[in-house]
Structure 1
Amino acid sequence: ALEKRIEKAAEIIKDRGLKERSKKVITSVLRSSKSRQDFEKALEKQGMGVLFRTNEQGRIYGVTFIDHEQKCVFNGSRLGKEFSANVFNDFFNDSGQKQEQADHKAGQVFEPFENVSRERENSDTSMGGIFDILPIETQESEDFEAEALMRRLKKKKRKNTRRL
């Protein structure tokens, strides 16, 4: 039952493009924010929340985004490398390079797609398709966490049946 629910949730997220909406909102808010508090307030205005997990030294080791409008929760690293905890830790803790670094990292989301689309316009080949446009990372499994959970459940089930 849990496996089916996980699969269904993953399909809904893909079909409705919920990840993309969240990425766009976070990127735009990150570019305009100068501090962690500004970032959190601006996200709230956009209908999203953010939860930073920090250790005793104040280092951010986890970021979770909550989209209240779409009723979705995303781990920062699952949205992409540019939304990982390390990026936010560097952004909020580095004083001199904050805005430059954030613009560069947040802008990386869209650069590969623009470059690929320009290359495709210039090429004469009609063969190809969506797999030429998408980065290799997205061609592999996007549901890594769901698959990992499935493997753990299977492994646990096997262990329990061996004991009987």
Structure 2
Amino acid sequence: MIYGVTDIDHNSKTVFKGSLLGKEYSASVINRKYGTIPPEKTEEAPVIHPSEPEMKETELVEGLLDIFSLESYPYPADDLTQSPYGKKKKRKRRGPHLG
């Protein structure tokens, strides 16, 4: 699919937008004349995995409670030792060159 056309004249070293040259040079006309036919969209059926056991609602609720429990988060004192941006790179120092 063509979204835009640019005409480059190497002799005069000028560049033209296809739509400014006229309707016959617009991307839509060139798509109709020379472009490929876009593939038809087909709806894909959802994939169902029969090997996966279904979880009951109580198991889901218990799992969510475990994830959001206070025990799963680090203590506030642990957060102070780490920078939120990660470790900084150290720059290499260049000393006097003896030689």
For the superposition of Structure 1 and Structure 2, which TM-score range results when normalised by the shorter chain? 0.3 to 0.5
Tell me the TM-score normalised to structure 1 length. 0.21
Tell me the TM-score normalised to structure 2 length. 0.35
Q: Which of 1 and 2 has greater Rg?
A: 2
